[in-house]
Every structure is written in C-alpha cells, then in structure tokens.
C-alpha cells in the first residue's frame, strides 16, 4: 500500500551516511556499510483505525491485499498490531529487503493504482497514518537478515538520539554485539533498523523476535552481565554510559504479527 508522502533522497542519504561515519577511516567505513546494507531498505506504514472501526480496517486491509494479489505484486507486505505503549491499537505494515532504486521501479508500476485502491478501501477506516523509510543495519545486528515470515511477536525498543551522537551509539552497540556473539546460548535473532527518512533522526529501532509472552522473560544473563564478563566493569560501564549519553529518550512496544492481514506474493 502507499500513502502519498514522498521521500527526500538527499535527506535520507545524509541521515544514513552520517550515522555510518565513525573513526578515522570514515569514508571507507561508510562505503563498506552502505554496500552491506544496499538491499536492506524498508518502507514502513503506521495506521490507526478510527474508534470502533478495527473490524472495518481489517476487512479493508484484506481487500487491499487482494488487490496486490490481482496486480501480481512481487513485494511482501507484513502487518503487525501494536499491543503495548502509546501506539497501542496502531497497525504497522512493512515491506523490506529492497534497494533504493527498487522504490522507483515499484512506484512506476504500482504507485498510482495502489494509492487509488488504498484510498478507497483503507482510507475511510483510519484516523491517521504516517510512513517512513528504514535501513536494516546488518552491520549492527546479530541476525544477518530480517526473518520472513516474522516471529509471532516482537519486542520493539526505539532509541531517539541526540544530534551528532549516532557514531558513538553505533560503536557501543557493536561492542555489545561482539560480547554477545561469544555467548554460545545467546539468541542471534535481534536486529537494528535505522530511520533514514520520515521522522525525528537519529532514530534506531531494536527488534527482538519473541515466540509468545513467556518469551519476554529475562534471560539468565543480562547484557550488562555479558559485557562485564567480556570487558570488565569499567569497560562495561563506559559502554552503558555512551548509550545513555547518546539517547534523548527510549520507547518500548510489543507487536504481534498478523499473518491474516499480510500479503506474500505467489512463489
């Protein structure tokens, strides 16, 4: 589906490139990171049904998915329902695994007809919506790619940073990952999205797959336990301080995957 909010390519590239630059070899590091994530762009739509219209929204989403099927759309569109936090009741529909150019190609083929169908079917059922473009940062993630289909639930943690702090934040996350990756029983399923365009930046989103609510229970070791074992208390404290100092605010959510409201192209 499509909402007529156009991206600003220069701003998007600026946001991703600036966040990638850290250390003395910033240029070469940025180039390598961009190459690693060249096909990791996602477009994510957030829609909140009007009061009392959840069922109408779900029916409209299914109808619009049938439109995608009739058009032989080759993209996957996964839908999630936010269960907790200030966005409870909002539905999130995303398509991932694309290059930036892919969006030009999709717009040329599907853009106008998709906007017309979405406006007619979903439009009357929602009270508001927004969308953004995100990059899945494989270089920051324990999972090399995003799972498709997604897990039944996802623990979502949104970090909105202070301006200019993204390089330090990224470096701290990578140090944590280095420590976690040495733990034989630590789940290698989490991943990071970086907002490239469509909201307040720098913003990073940690996605942690969960099977069910029981899977939200703490692990035997915490991240701080692992980093203390790996780097010592002083080193671990410095990593945590870097993240605290970089972060303006943090939001958490739980999202449930709605396979019945998702579209997957025929194989």
Q: What is the pLDDT of residues 243-259, one digit of tens each?
A: 999 999 999 999 999 99
Structure tokens at 180: 């976690």
Q: What percent of the chain has pLDDT over 90?
A: 87
- For residues 42 and 99, the answer to whether their CB atoms sit within 8 Å is no
Give just the sign of the alpha carbon dihedral 24, 176, 31, 134. Answer: negative
CA dist., res. 23 & res. 187, Å (int): 29
CA dist., res. 216 & res. 49, Å (int): 27
**Whole-structure pTM over 0.75, yes or no?**
yes
Sequence-distant (≥ 6) Cβ neighbours of residue 203 within 8 angstroms: 158, 159, 160, 161, 194, 195
Q: Give the confidence band of 88 by pLDDT, cuts at 50, 70, 90.
A: very high
What's the length of the chain?
267
Q: Give the confidence band of 4 by pLDDT, cuts at 50, 70, 90.
A: very low
CA dist., res. 80 & res. 42, Å (int): 14
- Please report the pLDDT score of residue 28 as a whole number: 52
Give me the chain's average pLDDT, please.
91
- For residues 144 and 239, the answer to whether their CB atoms sit within 8 Å is no
CA dist., res. 48 & res. 28, Å (int): 42
Q: Give the confidence band of 267 by pLDDT, cuts at 50, 70, 90.
A: confident
pLDDT, average across residues 164-171: 98
Q: Give the confidence band of 175 by pLDDT, cuts at 50, 70, 90.
A: very high
Q: What is the pLDDT of residues 89-148, one digit of tens each?
A: 999 999 999 999 999 999 999 999 999 999 999 999 999 899 999 999 999 999 999 988
All domains of the chain in start order, with CATH: 9-259 (3.30.70.100)
Q: How many CB atoms lie within 10 A of CB 129?
A: 18
């Amino acid at each position: 589906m499509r909402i007529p909010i156009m991206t600003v390519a220069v701003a998007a590239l600026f946001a991703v490139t600036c966040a990638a630059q850290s250390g003395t070899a910033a240029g070469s590091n940025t180039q390598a990171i961009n190459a690693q994530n060249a096909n990791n762009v996602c477009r994510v739509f957030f829609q909140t049904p009007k009061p009392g219209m959840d069922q109408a929204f779900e029916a409209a989403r299914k109808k619009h998915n049938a439109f995608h099927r009739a058009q032989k759309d080759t993209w996957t569109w996964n839908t999630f329902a936010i269960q907790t936090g200030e966005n409870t009741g909002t539905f999130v529909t995303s398509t991932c695994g694309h290059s930036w150019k892919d969006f030009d190609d999709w717009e040329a083929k599907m853009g106008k007809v998709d906007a017309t169908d979405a406006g007619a079917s979903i439009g009357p059922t929602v009270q508001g919506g927004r969308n953004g473009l995100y990059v899945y940062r494989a270089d920051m993630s324990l999972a090399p790619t995003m799972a498709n289909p997604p897990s039944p639930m996802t623990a979502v943690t949104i970090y909105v940073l202070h301006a200019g702090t993204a390089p330090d934040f990224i470096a701290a996350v990578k140090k944590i990952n280095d420590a976690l990756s040495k733990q034989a029983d630590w789940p290698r399923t989490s991943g990071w999205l970086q907002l490239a365009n469509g909201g307040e930046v720098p913003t990073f989103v940690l996605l942690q797959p969960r099977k069910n609510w029981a899977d939200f229970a703490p692990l035997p070791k915490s991240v701080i336990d692992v980093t203390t074992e790996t780097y010592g208390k002083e080193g671990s404290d410095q990593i945590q301080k870097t993240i605290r100092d970089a972060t303006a605010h943090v939001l958490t959510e739980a999202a449930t995957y709605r396979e019945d409201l998702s579209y997957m192209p025929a194989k």
